[in-house]
Structure 1
């Protein structure tokens, strides 16, 4: 009996020691306070000029979401006018600059920058090549073969614009990069890390005008793919690309000669859904959206997915006859459609604002299949209900929102405006920002600019690349937005929207922010980030991937440790 009591005591003591090692302590923080050199935005004058295609200067942004410093070991360049690279501290990013010789003829300018991940044997290289004098002939190879992550060639999306590399993970957890997406259910993957956090302490990628991945012309207006389409991939692929917050604008389309005849519910993007004459177009049908949600949740159970639903109004096919406010029949038809969404979460506790509930409250619903939550902006719902709690459709004020839209065209003004808002959001402790913050990291070009140059070009050349050096500089373990809403998620090259052509910067930004950056805030997290925790570090990644609290391997190791501790004094004495 005494032997078993001794064994139990040793096991209990070992468990306490392990938990003490794993507790989050401010003195253990690895997030760097070092500031990297300021980067450069793509000049608007260049973006709007035909000379864009003949640019000679480009950038490679490296984002470090690991507890290891990325150390520049050496560089080599041939016939480059500028080749400026440097270290990337933990939790930071750096925009590196290259400038080719500005020649129109064929050229063989080249350069390489070689990095080592401090404290590990992992290395990566950035290899620049130029075969001609225009943007399409210049590229960078992100070579992560020294990390067993392969390599990929990227063309620059425009002159004086960036290609981005995001790396997260750690030596013990394993490293991951933005060269490709991983499993669709990333929240379930890191469930153990985020399950106890209130929703206001999460970071979620989001998409703007999410249903506008195509132009379907269900309303007749002057909206086209240049000035009205905001995404290159549908809702299903946006989910796979990491998005968990969706800006969904839904309206009913009505026969021109009979307003009572509803021709179907569609996503819309118009300048003013209540105006007599509205400008814009339709995107995916609501039926398509529902089918895509269900496909994703069937393949990836256990996620928390928010849809912020706006408009909720009717328009005639000819968009010059004013709005049609929904009556009971249209509301009921809408509800009937929405009941087709699987894994809705009806009858949630509305006495607690949703941002204050732990993530597990939602992710564990539906027998662990997760939650698809619809938040309705009911400003256009006049004579019908503004929510249907029993069907899992909630008024938007059930979550405390702060939604910051810069309403600016120029990235050099837009980015500082958003960043200042990031820095004002203090997380954890007595001064915790109690709301859920939406950051709209997107340009709002005027009608002429959007029609001439296209929303896609603004997103992939100017706005999205700036997120990974300028936006990252404004985030820390104490300050970050809950949602970063973007246009054209995953699209790195114009019109290259097939899945294998997408890039995964936003996907890994979401995972790395939750695993590492937020994990370094001890007022938010009781335990260390799994990237740095002491308890059996070699198992940390597998623990998160399996989504289990305690795995059998850890139990066996603890039992073996206890056995070896007791054997000399206990077993041999018997």
Structure 2
């Protein structure tokens, strides 16, 4: 007997209602599509259902399941099918009276979803009519396909998948005494595979380390931490992909394969491994920048400003205020953006200021991982941070939902459950049912930051798919495919609608009060800073009223924060 989960995510403005069901040798099929003798309804705009399936030990070809699902209102109908053939199990979706967009299938009316035992698969459908319905495993260039619906939005209003420690998909050279690919690698796919799987935000932690041939120092991706007083003393970690490989694979995706997408390359935690694990100097950062902007071997589509922009990129106050069309619309090709999440900054007079590398002050991101390997704690902590960010954050700051676990302790047997990538993939299966129901116009993640984007085959730790330039793109990712991209597309629809379930009037009123008071407080602080400190008499005349109003506003803001906690955090 084998089993697993099928997650259904409704990213449409219509309730999904199960109309009929049948099954044979799939024990839990009908009881879950028709619980308590009432057909299941999956609510519109973020409703989810998690279906647990048990395939019994009947011979291959005996297992069959079918569920007819209708969208209430337009009565668009699709069927979920399950079947076993030749020892393999399959789930597929048949679209009866409408079409969907953006996937490559020989039969335009069906969509296959690969089944993986003991893990989750997902069927996600988003959009509001057949011209923009996109399903699970949609287009590789999912951003470009979404331009009609989100092209005019600033990036701060868009959700995208991101990969955590993106360059840590393989080990290059020797690691430290207690580090290996089991406890340091976070991704099964290389950079190209992550981009094909939908990642548009790459988390790169550069390091300087001796090359594998032992002849020169090279820029690589790294994962090094000072364990301090923990059981493993001192610095531990290892290096992953060479930075040049990262550049080449981004170029392959954007330039060679002509995917008109936006790729954000975030550089953080520069570490010189060969010099006592110290932070990068400015000179070392500049050497790395030289690699990225080299006209021959660097990023081919590096973005220096919107089309027609004549100023200095250093003058850009917030990268996130530009629309997706500014990056990849209006007849442009793909775009690679480099941002620095470090103390290193590029001065306006620097030669790098005009080359498309942006300072943290221009592209701030809130990213606060949960220090736990517990799925429950990560979910609770990250959703709470998402809610707080929705009200209290600056408009110029993106929110990264860090759906990642701390490395678990390796047990004595080296069980696969203690391997970081396996652990991360199990974390990923919770994201579909946990995040979507909590999303609305005010509260949503800008970046879905995960380990193991694209997934892995639990029976094959190496993922079993060597790089083959002649193979189809679908050969570079495993069973999860572009599910996370499909989830981001659904979230981008969910934060569009302002009626019904997606419209939270109480939250809107709370935020309006907060914004008004926060704006007034900024004005008061600015006014106080403009006082002439040498004019003691003037300062005395104004100070008491300024202090009284400031204290009153801060008290009101504290009350609003309490209201917000009651309104939202109790729902997490």
The verdict on a shared fold, with TM-score over 0.5 as the criterion, is yes
Q: What secondary structure is seen at the aligned counterpart in 2 of 1:405?
A: coil
The alpha-carbon deviation at position 355 of structure 1 amounts to 2.3
1:335 lines up with 2:335 in the alignment: no
In the TM superposition, 1:430-509 aligns within 5 A as 434-448=396-410, 452=415, 453=417, 454-460=419-425, 462-491=426-455, 493-494=457-458, 495=463, 498-499=475-476, 501-502=478-479, 503-509=481-487
2:92 is the counterpart of 1:142? yes
**CA contact under 8 A between 2:25 and 2:58: conserved in structure 1?**
no
2:494 is matched with 517
1:422 corresponds to: 386
2:317 maps to which residue?
Answer: 352
Matched, 1:177 2:135: yes
Note the alpha carbon deviations across 1:174-232, whole angstroms, 9 max, x for none.
53321x34142x32333243333222111111110111122222545443332222112
- C-alpha separation in 2, matches of 1:431 and 1:343: 31
For structure 1, list consecutive stretches of 5 or more residues without a partner in the other structure.
1-53, 526-574
User: Unpaired segments of 5 or more residues in structure 2?
Assistant: 34-39, 100-107, 305-311, 466-474, 503-572
Query: In structure 2, do the counterparts of structure 1 residues 378 and 417 end up closer, same or farther at CA, with 3 Å as the change threshold?
Result: closer
Tell me by how many angstroms 1:419 deviates.
Answer: 2.0
Answer yes or no: is the 8 Å Cα contact 1:181–1:241 preserved in 2: no
Residue pairs, 1:52-91, within 5 angstroms: 58-78=4-24, 82=28, 83-85=31-33, 86-91=40-45
1:306 aligns with 264
Q: Counterpart of 1:93? A: 47
Whether the 8 Å contact between 1:71 and 1:87 is mirrored in structure 2 is: yes
- Aligned pair count reads 448
Provide closer, same or farther for how the CA distance between residues 418 and 324 of structure 1 changes in structure 2, counting only shifts above 3 A: closer
Q: Kindly provide the CA deviation profile for residues 113-143 of structure 1, in whole angstroms up to 9, marking residues without a partner as x.
A: 22123345643333445799xxxx7845133
**Cα–Cα, structure 1 residues 95 and 271, in superposed 2: closer, same or farther, change >3 Å?**
farther
Alignment partner of 1:283 out of 224, 240, 245: 240
Is the contact between residue 210 and residue 217 of structure 2 (CA under 8 Å) also seen in structure 1? yes
- Secondary structure of the structure 1 residue equivalent to 2:14: coil
After superposition, what is the alpha-carbon deviation per residue over 1:19-76, rounded to whole angstroms, capped at 9, x for unaligned?
Answer: xxxxxxxxxxxxxxxxxxxxxxxxxxxxxxxxxxx7x663211011122322201222
1:292 has 2:242 as partner = no
Structure 1 residue 405 displacement after superposition: 1.1
- In the alignment, which residue of structure 1 is the partner of 2:544? none
Instruction: Measure, in 1, the Cα distance between the counterparts of 2:403 and 2:322.
Output: 26
Cα shift at 1:265:
0.9
Is the 8 Å Cα contact of residues 46 and 437 (structure 2) preserved in structure 1? Answer: yes
RMSD: 3.8
Question: Over residues 407-430 of structure 1, what are the superposed CA-to-partner deviations in whole Å (9 max), with x where a residue is unaligned?
Answer: 221212211222223333437xx9
Q: 1:224 is matched with which residue?
A: 180
Contact 1:74–1:113 under 8 Å retained in 2: yes
Match of residue 115 from structure 1: 69
State the partner residue of 2:146.
Answer: 190
State the Cα distance separating 1:356 from its structure 2 match: 2.8
Residue 207 of structure 2: which of 239, 251, 263 is its match? 251
- C-alpha separation between the residues in 2 aligned to 1:125 and 1:496? 32
Name the structure 2 match of 1:5. none
How many angstroms apart in 1 are the aligned matches of 2:476 and 2:109? 18
Query: Structure 1 residues 297 and 500 mapped into 2: Cα distance closer, same or farther (>3 Å)?
Result: closer
Query: How far apart are the structure 2 equivalents of 1:145 and 1:255?
Result: 52
Question: What is the rounded CA distance, in whole Å, between the counterparts of 1:124 and 1:288 in structure 2?
Answer: 43
Change in 2 beyond 3 A, CA 1:414/1:177: same
Q: Specify whether residues 199 and 373 from structure 1 end up closer, same or farther in structure 2 by C-alpha distance, changes over 3 A only.
A: same
Secondary structure in structure 2 of the residue aligned to 1:294: helix
**Which residue does the alignment assign to 1:560?**
none
The answer to whether the aligner puts 1:401 opposite 2:342 as a matched pair is no
CA distance in 1, matches of 2:69, 2:162: 31
Check conservation: 1:93, 1:468, Cα contact below 8 A: no
* Partner residue of 1:410 out of 374, 387, 391: 374
CA distance in 1, matches of 2:45, 2:374: 27
Q: Taking CA–CA contacts closer than 8 Å with sequence separation of 6 or more, which of the two structures ends up with the larger relative contact order?
A: 1
* Cα drift, residue 480 of structure 1: 0.2
> Where in structure 2 are the equivalents of 1:42-61 lying within 5 Å?
58-61=4-7
Q: Does 1:376 align with 2:332?
A: no
Question: 2-side partners of 1:341 and 1:227: how far apart?
Answer: 30
Tell me: CA distance 1:195–1:130, structure 2 relative to 1, closer, same or farther (3 Å). closer
8 Å Cα contact 1:266/1:286 also seen in 2: yes
The 5 Å alignment of 1:229-240 reads: 229-240=185-196
Give the direction of change, closer, same or farther, for the CA distance of 1:144–1:223 in structure 2 (3 Å limit): farther
Q: Residues 107 and 272 of structure 1: is their aligned pair in 2 closer, same or farther, counting only changes over 3 Å?
A: farther
Aligned partners of 1:327 and 1:492: how far apart in 2?
Answer: 37
Query: CA 1:399–1:449 in 2, change beyond 3 Å: closer, same or farther?
Result: farther
Per-residue deviation at 1:326?
4.0
The 3 A distance-change label for structure 1 pair 102 and 156 is same
Q: State how far apart, in whole Å, the 2-side matches of 1:476 and 1:387 are.
A: 42
Q: TM-score, normalised by structure 2?
A: 0.68
Say which is worse superposed, 276-285 or 122-131, in terms of deviation.
Answer: 122-131
> Separation in 2 of the partners of 1:104 and 1:172?
38
Contact preservation (8 Å) 1:221, 1:278: no
